[in-house]
Structure 1
Amino acid sequence: MAEEEETELSDDQKKGIAKWFLVNAPAGEIQYVSKDLKLVLNDDDVYNEAASEAFPVYNKSHLISLKMPGGFGDVLVTSYGELQDNEYLDPKTAQVAIVDHVKQACTKVRPATDEELPSAYVEEYRNGSWRTIWNIEFKDDIQKLELNGKLLVGAHYFEEGNVQLDTKHECRDSTMFQSPDDTAISVANLIRRHETAYMASLEESYFKLSDNTFKDLRRKLPITRTLFPWRSTRQFSLKREISEELGIGK
């Protein structure tokens, strides 16, 4: 039978695959992934198109923090502060950061016209990210506030293995509307309570992974309770054992 001819991928297919790998790179590791992809593709045009589309999606989904020039501090790259494709508002300093998504760098800043409350954020660590998005709805008729939270957590562990965590948790809560100061304190306490509880549940899950799940996935010793002699496997003969069992050759 004649060998099937290999069909080369089109540029669009290559770009789509490259985008998938970039968008799904672990937290803090997209630059490493992009470097390898560029070598694999060996086509600058395809790589540049994929990177220009994938990096903005990755940066905004991971809520990355970039240092602004001029000593203005850091800006969060999010869809909530996005003014244009590469411009992001930093409400704390009332500056607009112009961002190079592929280089993951803020190239310059300009004064902003919007004045909004600063957004708090959790400092990112190289191989993990904690992202929370809270929406608050005011129920004026019943003097009530409803909170809807979405917690997104990603982690990557690769010491003698490759384990990734990508999880999402949604929660709801409410509080009565009081004075502005008291309401702000109540909302902050509710957010703190939900995030602390979810963090505790993740820690408990990790303890169970270490004590139970990983032990079930891999045995330290085989059922014989002895290490397999990899360097002297010739002493074992599957053919001989099967022949003896079936009585072949007798």
Structure 2
Amino acid sequence: MSADKALGSFIESAPPGELADVTKAIKSILENDNVDAKLAPAFQQYNEEQFTTTKLPGGATEVLVSKHNSLGDGRYYDVETQSSFDFDHATGKASAVQSFVLESQHEHLVKSLVKSLATHTSEHYPKSSHGVFPTADDSSLAILTVANKYSPANYWNGRWRSSYIYNPSSSSLAGSVKVDVHYYEDGNVRLLTNKEVSLSGVSERDVIRQIATAEKKYQEDLNKAFAQLSEGAFKSLRRQLPITRQKIEWEKISGYNLGRDIGGGRR
């Protein structure tokens, strides 16, 4: 593997909200602050795959960046704000905002789905960004949602991403839901999940409802899996008596501090 590819792999695997930290670490290791040009392709791939969000100058809401709303040459567009913008993949900043008019045979459907998707995300996510964009051949629509929650003071960051392709001609809806959570207090634990979704016979008016149903079920499945960890995997990970010499109350596992209470950390 070449040096550039090795550096790029570090960028592409950066946990949510920690891209700047990973970049800083790379520069420190190389003792070189001028590697942004080499990392540019990796920055772009990371931002587009992770649905990185950015605020437009003078705007209050955050719009997302993806391959589906790319205009090429580092420029992207947003349907709701009817604008296009330049995006600096290294700094995460948007600039040069201009008005943008969507040209698509599905223009009315795009606007309808954006409105319904906005309602869905506001009901189910404390803070999120979303978008609906025609695919390159204008035959289908990409429906994207990203919800980030960063808490570095408490040593964790997380991201929810959902991406679907809806084909109006075949009434098919296919995509995936990805969850990425990193917890790093006195340890390094990362959750990476990928749930595939594939549905047929989905009418245009039923698209967002089907997405909401699939995502609700997945959230419930994750909650059940976490609840089962206390009686299964968590018990097998550690001895009955940790360093503190006190038995762990497994029914209260969700309230423990991973590093301090279970591992006997310094804090």
TM-score, structure 1 normalization? 0.73
Shift of 1:152: 1.5
Q: Aligned runs of 1:89-100 on 2, under 5 Å?
A: 89-100=77-88
Cα deviation, 1:200-241, whole Å, max 9, x if unaligned, reads: 11122222233321221121438xx899xxxxxxxxxxxxxx
Residue 162 to residue 28, structure 1, CA distance change in 2 (3 Å): same
Aligned position for 1:121: 145
Residue 210 to residue 54, structure 1, CA distance change in 2 (3 Å): farther
SS in 1 for 2:68: coil
Q: Aligned runs of 1:1-250 on 2, under 5 Å?
A: 13-45=2-34, 47-71=35-59, 73-114=61-102, 116=107, 117=111, 118=114, 119=131, 121-126=145-150, 127-139=157-169, 145-175=171-201, 177=203, 183-184=204-205, 186-221=206-241
Q: Residue type matched to 1:36 in 2?
A: A
Query: How far apart, in 1, do the equivalents of 2:246 and 2:200 lie?
Result: 58
Query: How far apart, in 2, do the equivalents of 1:84 and 1:156 lie?
Result: 32
Residues 146 and 162, structure 2, Cα contact 8 Å, conserved in 1? no
% same residue: 32
SS in 2 for 1:56: helix
Residues 66 and 104, structure 1, Cα contact 8 Å, conserved in 2? yes
Question: How many residues were matched structurally?
Answer: 203
Shift of 1:176: 5.7
- Which structure is larger by alpha-carbon Rg, 1 or 2? 1
Shift of 1:32: 0.5
Shift of 1:128: 1.2
Residues 153 and 166, structure 1, Cα contact 8 Å, conserved in 2? yes
Cα deviation, 1:118-143, whole Å, max 9, x if unaligned, reads: 4263431121111111112234xxxx
SS in 2 for 1:130: strand
Residues 75 and 97, structure 1, Cα contact 8 Å, conserved in 2? no
Cα deviation, 1:112-165, whole Å, max 9, x if unaligned, reads: 1326534263431121111111112234xxxx6221121121111112321111
Shift of 1:51: 2.2
SS in 1 for 2:209: helix
SS in 1 for 2:231: helix
Q: Residue type matched to 2:41 in 1?
A: E
RMSD: 2.4
Residues 51 and 66, structure 2, Cα contact 8 Å, conserved in 1? yes
SS in 1 for 2:55: strand
Tell which deviates more after alignment, 193-202 or 106-115: 106-115
Q: Residue type matched to 1:38 in 2?
A: K
Shift of 1:190: 1.0
Gaps of 5+ in 2: 115-130, 132-143, 151-156, 248-267
Residues 16 and 50, structure 1, Cα contact 8 Å, conserved in 2? no
SS in 2 for 1:196: helix
Residues 36 and 90, structure 2, Cα contact 8 Å, conserved in 1? no
Gaps of 5+ in 1: 1-11, 178-182, 228-250
